[in-house]
Amino acid sequence: MKLLIVESPAKARTLKKLLKDFAVEATLGHVKDLPKNKLGVDIERQFKPSYVLLPGKQKILQKIRKLAASAQEIYLGSDPDREGEAIAWHVAEEINKKNKKVQIKRVLFHEITPQAVKEAIAHPTSLDPNKYASQQTRRILDRLVGYKISPLLWEKVKRGLSAGRVQSVALRLVCERERAIQNFVPEEYWEIVARLEGKAPPVFEAKLVQIKGKKCHLSNQAQAEEVVEILKKQTFVVKKITRKEKRRYPAPPFITSTLQQEAAKKLGFSAQKTMAIAQQLYEGIDLGPEGRVGLITYMRTDSVRTADVAIKEARQFIKETWPSLLPARPCRYKNKRQAQDAHEAIRPTSVYRRPELVASYLTPDQKALYELIWKRFIASQMTPAIYDLTTVDIEATEYLFRATGSILKDPGFKQIYEETQEDTEKEKAISLPLLQEKEILTLKEIIPSQHFTKPPARYTEASLIKELEEKGIGRPSTYATILSTIQERKYVEKEKGRFKPTELGFLVNDLLVTNFPDIVDVSFTARMEADLDEIEEGKKPSLETLKAFYPVFTQALEQAQKHMVDVKKRGVKTEVICDQCGAPMVIKYGKNGAFLACSRYPECKNTKEFIRNDKGEITIVTQEVPEELCPQCGSPLKVKHGRYGAFLACSAYPKCRFTKPLEERDIVIEDKECPTCGAPLVIKRNKKGGRFLACSRYPECKYAAPLTLGIKCPQCGEGELVEQLSKKGRVFYGCSRYPQCKFVMWERPVLSPCPQCGAEFRVIKGSNLVCIKCGYKEKAA
């Protein structure tokens, strides 16, 4: 018997069908990690880590050891990256405890197709000590930062907070962008456009670009009107016409970061969702008669390199399907300087598996992502798009106007793959009339327009990933985790699809920047990432990196323990004055978030809720509630806030414990429109208290639907989980395809992939997030 061990059950299912003479077992992710209840790193003994088995992995490893004892050959086929190498290394250690003489081989599956799998099995390698050392170094660094700084935040701010070597830098980028927006002062400027007509139609527009040979800068209306009056008396003459051909070449195939960015822009997928779906496409899909096969190559890569065999197949396909779009030579793309080039770009395993041919075997999300990958790869081997560009300079004595026309002459690759709106905005076709140099033009109209400079935009998932990549922060396998972590910790929230720091996020960032300037420095973190790459390449010993990092870190930690502001005791100072005693109010943090409290507490117990406006200024939130008395004791009812939002409670608590829900206003759901009339959808409650989606134009439009959670049903995979109310008034979650699918669950599901087995969602049990697939448990943020 031959034994193959991988990390994922889905991957194991695909490989079992491709390797009939193998037993294939899955570890369900990592089997070992540093312990949760102690540091697990012996600083005095060269930073030696102490690994322990993860919960639930003892039985899995027992089965693997038993199979290994009778296997003639053992292959470790976990993912071909650092994390996969760590899994392989730890499994090998466990097998060798009982089977010390057995030879263990490492196989790397860059794609899971019959040919690629057989090729990998035929040419196994050994475990890579450098790649494992790189992963272990990263884990030790992350543990030192997280384990040492997080308790300090617990002590000074509140329990449950965390700091991370890379996540804290990402948070810093978001906070600095928000502060730039808050501090931005818009500046007025004016533009002037002339509508002109030549001998031939049509009338066209030209923009004023220079005055007396200098760039046009009009800062107010008076200046603009003065120029307009002068221009009305001028003669407009064509000074120069420049015509040239511009070629726009196709973008290279996807790497991890560009896939996440494009899926966010085109499909609205989060980075985490993109990676979860890509993992499914990589590990294998059942294609009916063809069986289970991986549809894409490995999805964690920073290389745009493509195998010659794949380029050859793509060119043959283009020749057969779109012969006019086949360039004379194959298209080759250069990697960025810091790219590791360990894996190919993300591409379909065969271009002959066209999206429309496999669509019936895929979920809508899988199809959308596969089609994106397929089209991008095919387009990358096609001819460029060709534009005819015409630039016309027009003189009006001391004033220079410019008109630019762009006509798409040959769409080339754009017939197959149209890039995002942001990329194509500059390429709108603009037709200019046939003009000649020295031709006198007729002025039809002069149009001045007022504008204001705009602040920098908040980061989207796509733009933050791009920023992280450009600055060398994180690696392909970590982008999705970084973004999900800062959201789960409540350090940032999304507003209209863009990241905005929370009050807690600002506070944690300010404390870290003040007390750990090097640790959250962008360039310092980028250098650490480069060191990890060098360790993987065998160019640098792990110990050198750890020894260089630790003294800087411990010195900062000692200073922070002495000087970090104790927010629990003192709060964060504000300029708000207590309306009961006149003392300054401070920001404090409770289990339900930030609030204002009087600095004279406990003498004065006044508290207020607050929000910040676009300039970062504090605004007191007042919630008007009709005067209402407790039906049990007659005391006034007060608004209180709990884990699930606002509610009314008796002011005589704890003597009287009466509570009741606070009547909600309809909550508008962003980015969701009524399919009947296009108006925004809102969350409403029915007479029994259950929530549902309804059109905001009710009663004119009576559209209503269950409140979906955006999570696929784990039983049928077709419906979505929806919130429902039982006859006894208890909330539960069931499949939207009921009664065809009768799946139900009582725990609230959360769209938070399991870090251990990759399951799409977990459930809230008490204060924990729990995976119903493998049992992995961690504290909820």
Residues with a catalytic annotation lie at: 298
CA dihedral 490, 495, 501, 504 (to 10 degrees): -40
**DSSP reduced 3-state for 578:** coil
**DSSP reduced 3-state for 267:** helix
Instruction: Write 481-485 long-range contacts (CB < 8 A, 24+).
Output: 481/272, 481/755, 482/166, 482/167, 482/170, 483/170, 483/270, 483/271, 483/272, 484/270, 484/271, 484/272, 484/752, 484/753, 485/162, 485/164, 485/167
Span between the terminal Cα atoms of the chain, in Å: 46
The tokens for 191 are: 């533009």
Question: Residue 70: CA atoms inside 13 Å, Cβ hemisphere, count?
Answer: 7
User: Which residues lie below 8 Å from residue 470, measured CB to CB, with a gap of 6+?
Assistant: none
Query: Distance from CA of residue 111 to its chain's centroid?
Result: 24
Q: How far apart are CA 501 and CA 509, in angstroms?
A: 10
Q: How far apart are CA 86 and CA 467, in angstroms?
A: 28
The candidate with the shortest Cα–Cα distance to 355, out of 332, 376, 336, 374, is: 374
Q: How far apart are CA 46 and CA 58, in angstroms?
A: 29
Q: How far apart are CA 272 and CA 281, in angstroms?
A: 14
> For residue 708, what are the CA distances in angstroms to 318, 335, 687, 692?
41, 42, 19, 9
The tokens for 112 are: 């899971």
Q: Quick one: DSSP state of residue 676? A: T
Q: Quick one: DSSP state of residue 199? A: S
Bridge partners, 531 (sequence order):
none
For residue 220, the tally of other CB atoms under 10 A from its CB is: 12
Question: Is omega for the bond preceding 114 within 30 degrees of 0, making it cis?
Answer: no
Q: How far apart are CA 544 and CA 137, in angstroms?
A: 10
> For residue 682, what are the CA distances in angstroms to 27, 272, 519, 729, 736?
43, 26, 43, 21, 19
Q: How far apart are CA 94 and CA 76, in angstroms?
A: 12
The tokens for 34 are: 């540093």
